A and B are shown apart, each in its own frame.
Chain A
Amino acid sequence: MDLRAEGLSVRRNGAAVIAALDLPPIPAGELTVLAGPNAAGKSTLLLALAQMIPATGRVTLEGADLARMGRADRARLIGMMPQQIGGAGGLSVLDSLLAALHAGGGLAGRALPGPEASRHALETLARFGIAGLAPRPLSALSGGQRQLVGLAQAIVRDPRLLLLDEPTSALDLARQFQLLNEVRALAREGRIVIAVLHDLTLAAHWADRILLLSDGRLAAAGTPDDVLTPETLARVYGIDARVERCSRGRINVMVDGLSA
Chain B
Amino acid sequence: MVGDAEVRDTGASFEAILAGETARTRRRWLLVVVLALAAVASLVVDLTSGPSGLPFESVLRALTGQEVDRGTAVIVWQVRLPVALMALLVGAALSLAGAEMQTVLENPLAEPFTLGVSASAALGAGVALVLGLSLPGLPPVWAVSANAFVFAMGALGLLQLASRLRGGGTEVVILLGIAVNFTAGALLALVQFVASPDALQQLVFWTMGSLAGARWDGIVLLAALLAVCLPFSLRASWRLTALRLGADQARAFGFDVAGLRRMALLRISVLAAAAVSLVGVIGFVGLAGPHIARLAVGEDHRFLLPASVFTGAVLMSLASVASKLLVPGILLPVGIVTSLVGLPIFVALILRRGV
Contact = CB atoms under 8 A, between A and B. Distances in A.
Interface of A: 50, 52, 71-72, 74-76, 78, 80-82, 84-92, 94-96, 98-100, 102-105, 114-115, 118-119, 122, 126, 128-135, 138, 145, 148, 150, 153-154, 175, 178-179, 182
Contact of A154 (B246, B251, B252): B252
A122 B300 CA distance: 17
A85 to B, nearest CB: 7
Q: Closest 3 CB pairs between A and B? A: A75-B254, A86-B246, A129-B1
B238 A102 contact: yes
Given A82-B251, A100-B253, A103-B253, 8 more contacts: A76-B254, A90-B294, A95-B241, A95-B298, A122-B17, A131-B14, A132-B9, A153-B252
Contacts, number: 141
B57 interface: no
26 contacts: A50-B252, A52-B252, A75-B253, A75-B255, A86-B245, A88-B245, A90-B294, A95-B241, A98-B238, A99-B300, A100-B253, A103-B250, A104-B253, A104-B254, A118-B22, A122-B14, A129-B1, A129-B2, A129-B6, A130-B2, A132-B6, A132-B7, A132-B10, A148-B3, A150-B249, A153-B249
A126 B2 contact: no
A224 B255 CA distance: 35
Contact of A84 (B6, B12, B246, B298): B246
A129 B254 contact: no
A92 B245 CA distance: 11
A182 B244 contact: no
A99 B20 contact: no
Contacts of B249: 82, 84-86, 150, 153
A203 B328 CA distance: 76
Nearest to A156: B253
Contact of A179 (B2, B10, B250): B2
A225 B134 CA distance: 77
Given A82-B248, A118-B18, A135-B21, A148 B2 contact: yes
Interface string B13-50: 01001101110110000000000000000000000000
A80 to B, nearest CB: 4
A50 B336 CA distance: 51
A52 to B, nearest CB: 5
B242 A99 contact: yes
Contacts of B251: 52, 82
Contacts of A81: 252
A204 B145 CA distance: 69
Contacts of B24: 135
B1 A88 contact: no
A91 B24 CA distance: 13
Contacts of A86: 244-246, 248-249
Given A71-B256, A104-B255, A128 B3 contact: yes
Contacts of B18: 118-119, 122
A145 to B, nearest CB: 7
B217 interface: no
B262 interface: no
Interface string B253-287: 11110000000000000000000000000000000
A100 to B, nearest CB: 5
